[in-house]
Amino acid sequence: MKANESWFSRGKAEADKGIPYGHRVVGIALVVLSVLMILYFVAHQMQSTGFFTATFGTLEMLLLYGSLVFWIVSAGLEGVLGQRLLSRLFDVFGGLIFAAVCIAWLLVVFPFEFAYFADVLPDSLRFLVQWISNDIARVLMVLGIIVYVGAAAYCPIGYKFVSIKRSKREKISD
């Protein structure tokens, strides 16, 4: 690589090297998990279980499903399509911040009643999510916000460090 190459060119060259099998499997699993979560929430809406409270309006619905679509896009680009660079660009330029804002808004409004969260599952599977209370959900949401904001700060910094390390390695090999 040449010293005057852009960050995008270096990133593309690195991404073209391929994605490890394990990363692709995780990406595919995240896509499947996100689709299942969307279907789970849609089942709650269709059956009017009481999980969504009266404060769950159109904006909250867009934010909830939008944050799940974020995972599908990001993980799908990398895991399913093998497009690491596009996935990283999506993450860096707004995807992670969007997801953090979505969760923060849902935490403030909190249009959920987790006492009904297990209602769409068969009786034999309800134990899997019955332990989640409103308080536990709030803690998980705060942790999610922290992780998203941390990742949004880390991604561009990580790219810069990779760029510096690669340029040093290229100087040594010249």
Write out pLDDT tens, residues 50-73: 999 999 999 999 999 999 998 888
Residue 170 has a pLDDT of 60
pLDDT-based confidence at residue 162 (cuts at 50, 70, 90): low
Structure tokens at 144: 């999610």
Would you say 107 and 142 are in contact if contact means Cβ atoms under 8 Å apart?
Answer: yes
- Tell me how many helices (H) and strands (E) the chain has: 6, 0
Domain residue ranges in the chain: 7-173
CA dist 159 to 59, 66, 88, 99, Å? 33, 26, 9, 20
Question: What are the Cα distances from residue 7, in Å, to 1, 95, 115, 133, 159?
Answer: 11, 19, 49, 45, 9
C-beta of residue 30 within 8 angstroms of C-beta of residue 79:
yes
More confidently predicted of 148 and 159: 148
Q: Could you give the CA distance from residue 44 to residue 170 in angstroms, rounded to a whole number?
A: 55
**pTM for the complete prediction?**
0.77
Cα angle 21, 74, 9; round to 5: 80
Q: What is the mean pLDDT of residues 108-136?
A: 96
* C-alpha dihedral sign at 29, 31, 37, 39: negative
